[in-house]
Amino acid sequence: MKIDAFHYVQLGTAYRGLQPVPDEEVIDLYGGTQHIPLYQMSGFYGKGPSIKQFMDIFSLPEMALLSCVVDHFLGHGLEFDQAHLYKDVTDAIRDVHVKGLMYQWIERDMEKYILRGDETFAVLSRLVAHGKQLFLITNSPFSFVDKGMRHMVGADWRQLFDVVIVQADKPSFFTDRRKPFRKLDEKGSLHWDRITRLEKGKIYRQGNLFDFLRLTEWRGPRVLYFGDHLYSDLADLMLRHGWRTGAIIPELEREIRIINTEQYMHSLTWQQALTGLLERMQTYQDAESRQVLAAWMKERQELRCITKALFNAQFGSIFRTFHNPTYFSRRLVRFSDLYMASLSCLLNYRVDFTFYPRRTPLQHEAPLWMDQLCTGCMKTPFLGDMAHIR
C-alpha cells in the first residue's frame, strides 16, 4: 500500500497479492481510520516492527515476488504464515545480492544493464578538470566495480578518484567505528599493514567514516555525496555529519515527462479550480447548491483518479498521493539537498552553479497558491500587481 507523509493510507492503493483491498476493509483493519500509528511505521532505516518501507531498486523484485506468492496461496486456498513468507522472500532477495549471483548476471551483459556510461564519464572528467576531489564508497566487491567502471569510464578510471572504498558495508560504515580500512592488491588479496593514509589509485576495503574523516579532513557542507538509497547512503551523512547530499531517483525522469504532458496539466489545473470552488461555495446549503457541490465533488474525485492513473494504474506517483507528498517524498526532502534522475543531469549546469532552495508556501500563506489565484476565493492586497507571477 502507499502511505502519505502524515501516515495515511491512500485509498485505492492497498493490495493483497495481486488483488485490490476494498477501501472499507482497509479502514476496518486500522480501527476505523486510514491512519497508521507511529509505533507501526518504519524506523530510521525504513524497517519498523510491523511495516517495511519499499523504496529502492531491490524493492521491485521483492514486491513482485511477495505479491505473486501471496496470490498463488490465496488462489489455491493454501494456509500460510505471513511472517514466514516475508522472511523467505527477503532472504531470497538478499542471497541473490550477497552471494554474488546478481554481479555475475550483470557482468555477462554489461551493455544491457549498465546505462549512461558516456554521461557518467563526462560528469567525472568535468569535476576533476575543475579541481574537485572525488571519492567512491560502495558496498560492491572490487571485481564487479572494476569491470563496471572499465565499461563506463575506461581502464584508467581509478585516476579520477582520490579515494576508492569497496565492500564498505553501508549504512554501518557511517556509524560503526570498529572496522578498520584494509588495502587490496590488484588480485583482490588483502594486505595486513595498518592504514595511516588513503592514497590515490589504491583500493581499500570496509573501514568506517570516522577514520575516513580523520585521514582526509573532508568535513561538513564542503562535501557533496551522491547515493541512490536514502537510508544506506544519505541519512546518516546529512543528520550526523552535515554533508550535502544528492539523491539519484531514476523514476524521476518518467514522472517529469508525465507532468509536462497537456493531459496532466489540464487535469491538475481543473482539479485545483474545482477544489477552490468547493472551498468557496460550501457555505451555500440550499438544495440546488448542494446538488451542484455534489456534482463538483464527483468530478473532482474522477479527476484525481485520472491523474493518479497517468503515473501508475495501481499506485500513482511515487512522490504524491492525491494531494499530500508520499512518505517516500517526505524522507527524500529530509535526507537530500538535491535529487535528480541521473548524475548526468549535472551536465546541464556549470560546476560553480548555485542551487537555491525554493520557498514552499505555508498554510497561512495560502492566498498566494495557484488554485486561489485562479478562482479568486481570497482577496490579497496588491494581488493585481502580482498577477505576472502566474
The model's pLDDT over 9-46, given as tens digits with 9 standing for 90+, comes to 999 999 999 999 999 999 999 899 999 887 777 666 66
Which of 149, 124, 140, 156 has the alpha carbon at shortest distance from 205?
140
For residues 105-128, average pLDDT: 89
Averaged pLDDT of the chain: 88
The answer to whether residue 201 is domain-embedded is: yes
CA distances (Å), origin 296, targets 72, 284, 291, 302? 41, 14, 9, 10
The answer to whether residue 359 is domain-embedded is: no
| Nearest-angstrom CA–CA distance, 208 and 205 | 10
| Nearest-angstrom CA–CA distance, 196 and 212 | 10
Final residue in a domain of this structure, among 61, 86, 106: 106
The answer to whether residue 225 is domain-embedded is: no
Q: Do 123 and 37 belong together in one domain?
A: no
The answer to whether residue 176 is domain-embedded is: yes
Q: Which residues face 41 on adjacent strands?
A: none
pLDDT value at residue 52: 83
In this structure, what CATH number is given to the domain that contains residue 206?
Answer: 3.40.50.1000
The answer to whether residue 44 is domain-embedded is: yes
Q: Do 99 and 20 belong together in one domain?
A: yes
Q: Do 77 and 125 belong together in one domain?
A: no
Q: Do 210 and 136 belong together in one domain?
A: yes
pLDDT value at residue 245: 95
The answer to whether residue 73 is domain-embedded is: yes
Q: pLDDT category, 367, cuts 50, 70, 90?
A: low
Please give the residue range of the domain that contains residue 170.
Answer: 115-218
Q: Do 262 and 204 belong together in one domain?
A: no
Which of 336, 341, 331, 328 has the alpha carbon at shortest distance from 248?
341
Final residue in a domain of this structure, among 218, 242, 277: 218
Residues 157-207: tens digit of each pLDDT: 999 999 999 999 998 999 899 999 999 987 878 999 999 999 999 999 999
Q: Do 203 and 294 belong together in one domain?
A: no
Q: Do 101 and 120 belong together in one domain?
A: no
Q: Do 121 and 154 belong together in one domain?
A: yes
Final residue in a domain of this structure, among 49, 77, 106: 106
Minimum mean pLDDT among 202-216, 217-231, 251-265, 355-369: which range? 355-369
Domains held by the chain: number: 3
Q: Do 77 and 34 belong together in one domain?
A: yes
Phi-psi region for residue 360, left (φ > 0), alpha (ψ -120 to 50) or beta?
beta
The answer to whether residue 228 is domain-embedded is: no
On whether the CB atoms of residues 56 and 228 are closer than 8 A, the answer is yes
The answer to whether residue 354 is domain-embedded is: no
On whether the CB atoms of residues 110 and 147 are closer than 8 A, the answer is yes
The answer to whether residue 75 scores a pLDDT higher than 50 is: yes
DSSP string for 204-269 = EEE--HHHHHHHH---GGG-EEEES-IIIIIIHHHHHH--EEEEE-THHHHHHHHHTSHHHHHHHH
Longest dimension (CA), the chain: 85
Backbone angles phi, psi at 20, to 5 degrees: -65, 140
The pTM of this model reads 0.86
On whether the CB atoms of residues 12 and 305 are closer than 8 A, the answer is yes
Q: Do 94 and 73 belong together in one domain?
A: yes
**Annotated binding-site residue? 91:** no
Q: Do 197 and 279 belong together in one domain?
A: no
| Nearest-angstrom CA–CA distance, 15 and 64 | 12
Residues 240-287: tens digit of each pLDDT: 899 999 999 999 999 999 999 999 999 999 998 999 899 888 888 899
Q: Do 129 and 202 belong together in one domain?
A: yes
Which of 275, 269, 318, 319 has the alpha carbon at shortest distance from 297?
275
Residues 6+ apart with CB under 8 A from 309: 316
